[in-house]
Homo-oligomer: A and B are copies of this chain.
Amino acid sequence: MSDTVPMRRAAQRPDAESQLRALERLETECRVRGCRLTRQRRAVLRALLAEGGALSAYELLERLRRVDSRCTPAGVYRALEFWMTAGVVHRLQSTRSFILCEHPEAPHPGQLLICRECGQVIEAEDKGVVAAAIRLGERLGFVLDRHLVELTGVCGPCRAQGRAGDSGRSPTT
């Protein structure tokens, strides 16, 4: 517990099992769509599963290289791109990192809640937020096709642990 790196509630994500099942489904899905479920792509997915949270592309690269020293940034980004297109991985713009989708069954607009203390990321699919966003788009004449909603704050457990921070100020972009 006296690690120098910020603690990370690892492997706490809902269901590694069901995600592996989802992976099976992807395998067939891929074949249908004419793209390939390759070693490297599996490796990226496995690394993200093992981490149980978000990883930057280069953190991912480091892990992959432990197994296969020939991995390159380009390869990692290509695999990530592939999975993002498939809706299996999301990119966290506010932390420049990547995380497994928790509902990879179907593409969906999601919201990512990030705890600035423990780094935990929770993915939500909140109808209210999406509806409000779409209404806003309509009001301003936009037809939206990409929702980026990342909400940063402090999660319950971290507040309970006393690491409250100054939660007094109003939410800002």
Contacts and interface: CB of A to CB of B under 8 A. Distances in A.
Q: How many copies does the complex hold?
A: 2
Nearest to A126: B136
Interface stretch (A30-38, A59-67, A163-171): A163-171
A93 B113 CA distance: 16
A147 B149 CA distance: 8
B153 A173 contact: no
At the interface, is chain A mostly helix, strand, loop or mixed? mixed
B144 A171 contact: yes
Contacts of A109: 170-173
A151 B142 contact: yes
Contact of A148 (B132, B146, B173): B173
Contacts of A169: 107, 145
Given A93-B93, A137-B151, A147-B172, 6 more contacts: A108-B170, A122-B142, A133-B151, A141-B157, A144-B171, A145-B172
